[in-house]
């Protein structure tokens, strides 16, 4: 019997029992849709995190105070952590790193002080991150201005009361983020003049940079963010000259600070982190997450496959007489085998196709919900996920179809014909 005929008969047979076929297909649909959607969400999360880490700067290095094994990056506002025998990072450390000869791979250095505070304008107030920055911070962190100017040397020298606003903070205070330059706001009760507004970057891995105010480092040091040690800084951001020189820059910075802090090798009281470290850390996390989600979805696909096997077994026992008759009319084992395998594969294939569409839809809806709730997150339906789930579902149809089909094929014609 030709395959096209087997296919036609399978369609006829499945069509003859629409309700049952539909429910069986549903199991596979849910499984495949879940796999597609979960992998899409996982991939989307990965891409979104990778994107936001890349957006914080190029070839970026972070220097924190504290030994590497005392925990990972503290993030903004986590500075000033001091354990035993930990010397805080200072402005002098930052200046030493800028030394072209000691650290040729380091391009720009931007020490910052960070704290939280209340910002007010005309009765509107907002709690936000206050960052004391140097002019270099602008290029190190890849910032962009939508209006006005950034903190410059003059502001630094004069310890001037000027502030650059993140767009979200501007929205919170003014209800808009344009045309606010020149306004006067209060930070912790002290008056500051707005000199610029940043372009929105979206949520980052280190909290949103859009929600924050940026003031000259010297001003922050003198008036807003007090630290125990003189000239203490919370984080030093440094930019390597090229992507290739990032590991070199790490070495140079480490050597300089080790000398300055007089620590032994292996007893560092600071940590140098690179973007790459963050990327690989998060890649590991999202990778595990994706596998976890995909695995759960895979289980539902497996359950769908068992559903197929179940229904095929029922079908075989219901159609025992039919099988006997077909054998009496000259059907060979492989004819019967093919007939039932075609049916089960067809079930899973149809389920797979509908599942892909459905999974895509779910991923799309998740994306829309994420956008609606202000998260910059797009699920990615990869061709790998489609190929994976399609081949997996077809394999499941075959695998779970083989047992019922071979049971049918091996029925004795005499016994089968006698079956009621």
- The yes or no reply on residue 366 touching other proteins (CB under 8 A) is no
* Alpha carbon distance 65, 86 (integer Å): 7
Nearer to other proteins, 36 or 416 (CB): 416
Q: Which of these, 204, 203, 226, 222, lies nearest to 79 by C-alpha position?
A: 226
- The stretch among 27-35, 210-218, 323-331, 350-358 that binds other proteins (CB under 8 A) is 323-331
* Alpha carbon distance 80, 123 (integer Å): 32
- The stretch among 12-20, 265-273, 298-306, 309-317 that binds other proteins (CB under 8 A) is 12-20
Helix intervals (H) in 56-121:
91-97
| Cα-based torsion angle of the residue sequence 243, 247, 248, 254 in order, rounded to the nearest 10 degrees | 130
Beta-strand (E) ranges in 145-189?
145-148, 162-165, 184-187
378 three-class SS: coil
Nearer to other proteins, 64 or 340 (CB): 340
CB 379, min distance to other proteins, A:
43
Tokens of 396: 């499941």
Q: Which of these, 78, 103, 83, lies nearest to 93 by C-alpha position?
A: 103
- The stretch among 265-273, 324-332, 362-370, 380-388 that binds other proteins (CB under 8 A) is 324-332
> Cα-flanking dihedrals φ and ψ of residue 312, to 5°?
-70, -35
CB 13, min distance to other proteins, A:
7
CB 298 within 8 A of CB 307: no
- The yes or no reply on residue 117 touching other proteins (CB under 8 A) is no
* Alpha carbon distance 263, 249 (integer Å): 19
- The stretch among 135-143, 188-196, 317-325, 341-349 that binds other proteins (CB under 8 A) is 317-325
CB 63 within 8 A of CB 217: no
- Residue 207 is classified by DSSP as B
CB 386, min distance to other proteins, A:
34
214 three-class SS: strand
- The stretch among 1-9, 228-236, 250-258, 275-283 that binds other proteins (CB under 8 A) is 1-9
Which class for 163: exposed (0-12), middle (13-18), buried (19 or more C-beta within 10 A)?
buried
Q: Which of 291, 398, 402, 417 binds other proteins (CB under 8 A)?
A: 417
Q: Which of these, 147, 149, 218, lies nearest to 176 by C-alpha position?
A: 147
Cβ neighbors of 99 (< 8 A, separation 6 or more) are: 256
* Alpha carbon distance 180, 138 (integer Å): 20
- The yes or no reply on residue 342 touching other proteins (CB under 8 A) is no
Q: Which of 16, 189, 266, 374 binds other proteins (CB under 8 A)?
A: 16
- The yes or no reply on residue 320 touching other proteins (CB under 8 A) is no
CB 412, min distance to other proteins, A:
8
- The yes or no reply on residue 13 touching other proteins (CB under 8 A) is yes
Q: Which of 328, 361, 365, 387 binds other proteins (CB under 8 A)?
A: 328
Number of other residues whose CB lies within 10 A of the CB of residue 22: 14
- The yes or no reply on residue 2 touching other proteins (CB under 8 A) is yes
CB 2, min distance to other proteins, A:
7
Nearer to other proteins, 11 or 353 (CB): 11
CB 21, min distance to other proteins, A:
13
- The stretch among 43-51, 93-101, 329-337, 343-351 that binds other proteins (CB under 8 A) is 329-337
Nearer to other proteins, 1 or 291 (CB): 1
CB 238 within 8 A of CB 54: no
- The yes or no reply on residue 372 touching other proteins (CB under 8 A) is no
Q: Which of 332, 368, 369, 375 binds other proteins (CB under 8 A)?
A: 332
Nearer to other proteins, 2 or 262 (CB): 2
- The yes or no reply on residue 18 touching other proteins (CB under 8 A) is no
- The yes or no reply on residue 325 touching other proteins (CB under 8 A) is yes
Q: Which residues of this chain interact with other proteins, rule CB under 8 A? A: 1-2, 5, 12-13, 16, 321-322, 325-335, 412-414, 417
């Amino acid at each position: 019997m030709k395959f096209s005929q087997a296919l036609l008969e399978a369609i006829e047979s499945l069509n003859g029992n629409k309700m049952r076929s539909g429910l069986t297909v549903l199991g596979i649909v849910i499984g495949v849709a879940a796999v597609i959607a979960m992998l899409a969400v996982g991939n989307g999360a990965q891409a979104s995190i990778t994107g936001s880490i890349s957006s914080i700067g190029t070839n970026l290095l972070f220097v924190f105070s504290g030994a590497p094994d005392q925990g990972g990056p503290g993030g903004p506002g986590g500075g000033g952590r001091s354990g035993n025998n930990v010397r805080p990072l200072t402005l002098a450390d930052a200046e030493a790193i800028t030394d072209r000869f000691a650290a040729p791979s380091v391009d720009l250095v931007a020490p910052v002080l960070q704290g939280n505070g209340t910002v007010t304008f005309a009765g509107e107030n907002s709690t936000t991150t206050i960052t004391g920055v140097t002019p270099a911070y602008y290029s190190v962190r890849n910032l962009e201005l939508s209006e006005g100017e950034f903190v410059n040397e003059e502001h630094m020298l004069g310890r001037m009361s000027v502030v650059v606003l993140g767009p979200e903070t501007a929205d919170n205070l003014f209800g808009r983020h344009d045309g606010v330059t020149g306004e006067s706001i209060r930070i912790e009760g002290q008056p500051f003049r707005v000199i610029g507004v940043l372009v929105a970057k979206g949520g980052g891995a280190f909290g949103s940079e859009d929600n924050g105010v940026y003031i000259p480092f010297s001003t922050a040091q003198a008036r807003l963010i007090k630290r125990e040690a003189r000239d203490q800084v919370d984080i030093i951001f440094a930019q390597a000259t090229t992507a290739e020189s990032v590991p070199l820059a790490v070495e140079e910075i480490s050597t300089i600070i080790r000398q300055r802090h007089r620590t032994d090798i292996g007893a560092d009281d600071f940590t140098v982190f690179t973007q790459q470290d963050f990327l690989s850390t998060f890649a590991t996390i999202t990778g595990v997450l994706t596998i976890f989600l995909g695995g759960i979805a895979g289980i539902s696909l497996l359950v769908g496959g068992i559903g197929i096997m179940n229904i095929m077994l029922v079908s075989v026992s219901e159609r025992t007489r039919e099988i006997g008759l077909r054998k009496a009319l000259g059907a060979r084992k492989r004819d019967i085998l093919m007939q039932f395998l075609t049916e089960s594969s067809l079930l899973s294939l149809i389920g797979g196709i509908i599942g892909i569409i459905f999974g895509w839809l779910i991923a799309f809806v998740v994306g829309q919900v994420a956008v609606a709730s202000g998260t910059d997150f797009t699920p990615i339906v990869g061709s790998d996920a489609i190929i994976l789930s399609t081949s997996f579902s077809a394999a499941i149809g075959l695998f779970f179809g083989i047992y019922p089909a071979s049971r049918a094929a091996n029925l004795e014609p005499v016994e089968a014909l006698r079956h009621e």
